[in-house]
Amino acid sequence: MTAVRTLVRHELRLLVCLVLWVARRRHVTDGGLAFGYARGQGPVMFGFAFVCVVESVTMSVLLRDFPTVHRVWLALDVYTVVITIGLHAASVVRPHVLDSGFLRVRRGVHVDLRIPLEKVVSVRRELRTTHERAEGELDVAVGSQTSVTLQLGESVPHFTFLGRRRDVHLVRFHADDADHLVREIREIREIREIREITAVTSARTAPSPLPDRPA
Q: What residues does each domain of the chain span?
A: 2-30+38-93, 111-202
Q: Are strands 165-173 and 33-35 parallel, antiparallel or unpaired?
A: unpaired
Q: Which strands, in side-by-side order, build the sheet including 33-35?
A: 33-35, 96-98, 102-107, 111-116
Q: What is the pTM of this model?
A: 0.82
pLDDT tens by residue, the chain, 215 residues: 577 888 888 888 999 999 999 999 998 887 889 999 988 787 788 888 888 888 888 888 888 888 888 888 888 888 888 888 899 999 999 999 998 889 999 999 999 999 999 999 999 999 998 888 889 999 999 988 999 999 999 999 999 887 889 999 999 999 999 999 999 999 988 887 787 777 777 766 656 555 655 55
How many secondary structure helices (H) and strands (E) does the chain include?
4, 8
Question: What's the CA gap between 174 and 140, in Å, rounded?
Answer: 7
Cβ contact 167:158 at 8 Å? yes
Please name every residue paired with 30 in a beta bridge, in sequence order, or none if there are none.
Answer: none
Question: What's the CA gap between 141 and 138, in Å, rounded?
Answer: 9
Helix, strand, or coil (residue 102): strand
Dihedral, 170, 175, 181, 182 alpha carbons, nearest 10:
40
